[in-house]
Chains A and B, each alone.
Chain A
């Protein structure tokens, strides 16, 4: 094996890849090629340096700041992560209330008094089914907007964005 070892093999050897470390031709080449042997030694040294002292002491102000946030969050019931249930319940109640208001409005518009009024605006003189359809469409639009609100909220709160999203952003 007279050719120098490829870079990927050097890297794998330096990282201690067992399959490649026991590769006989590579070992033989390293025994005969001082250049590759030296390069491997330097790579192994680099990996050693990179792996050395992985544990460091975290700066103490970090815990002080973190602890104060934790204490504040414990005393404030709105902060913890489970606050999405009240939010969802509030959303649902709001949607129901608005839908009820739309129905009431539709019922009120259906009254004979307005239908008989010649001076009433054009849209009020539409047939009842048309008005109901108009209200239904408006209601559905509002409903969709309200239904999407928790999704946006969840996106904003999500501590683990999708790796693919991050990749698209970073690269």
Chain B
């Protein structure tokens, strides 16, 4: 059964998931969990938090499988969009809690290891970017989204995204002291 599911398309699996087939859900999880986890880890900059967000992302996929419409885009983009919303919501919630004094400020509670696969300097530089800047760098560079795709997922205009991306790259270069060679 599992072998058969492994060969099915994402859309076919989603049909089964919407009929509450747990094995199809597991097949989708096996297919995408690694990529989504890497994305979340880089988006939020915290490995522990990324684990929770990964779980929440797939939980929402399970709950909302029937809202997935293949005619509006492929499953890969859809799940990244869910993950993006989950991560943004969590960051917004944490920011509010910090502002209310309910949670320590960024950096105090973390002490986390930088995302695997990234050079430490680059990972730390990424962490120092604002969430909005990090988001556009992660989506554009790491996930290879076009600016118009990011626009439709985030609701931010392409012009703003390009300007933000430009500033982010400039900031990354400054943080990594690349400017001195120019």
Determine if A7 and B85 form an interchain contact, defined as CB atoms under 8 angstroms apart.
Answer: no
**Interface: A112 (CB within 8 A):** no
Q: Which of A8, A38, A42, A66 makes the CB contact (< 8 A) with B58? A: A66
The residue of chain B having its C-beta at the shortest distance from the C-beta of A56 within the complex is B38
Cα(A75)–Cα(B58), bound, Å: 18
| CB-contacts of A18-61 with B (<8 A) | 35-36, 38-39, 42-43, 46-47, 49-59, 61
**Interface: B110 (CB within 8 A):** no
**Count of CB-CB pairs between chains A and B under 8 Å:** 151
**Interface: A111 (CB within 8 A):** no
**Interface: A63 (CB within 8 A):** yes
Q: Which of B54, B92, B117, B155 makes the CB contact (< 8 A) with A163? A: B155
**Interface: A107 (CB within 8 A):** no
Determine if A66 and B29 form an interchain contact, defined as CB atoms under 8 angstroms apart.
Answer: yes
Known: A52-B117, A167-B155. A160 touches B82 (CB 8 A): yes
A162 cross-chain contacts in B, Cβ below 8 A? 155
Known: A11-B165, A171-B132. A55 touches B118 (CB 8 A): no
Determine if B20 and A80 form an interchain contact, defined as CB atoms under 8 angstroms apart.
Answer: yes
Q: Which residues of B contact A (CB under 8 A)?
A: 20, 22, 25-26, 29, 33-39, 41, 51, 54-55, 58-60, 62-67, 81-82, 85, 88-89, 91-92, 116-119, 122, 131-132, 137-138, 140-144, 152-156, 162, 165-166, 169-170, 172-173, 176, 178, 181-182
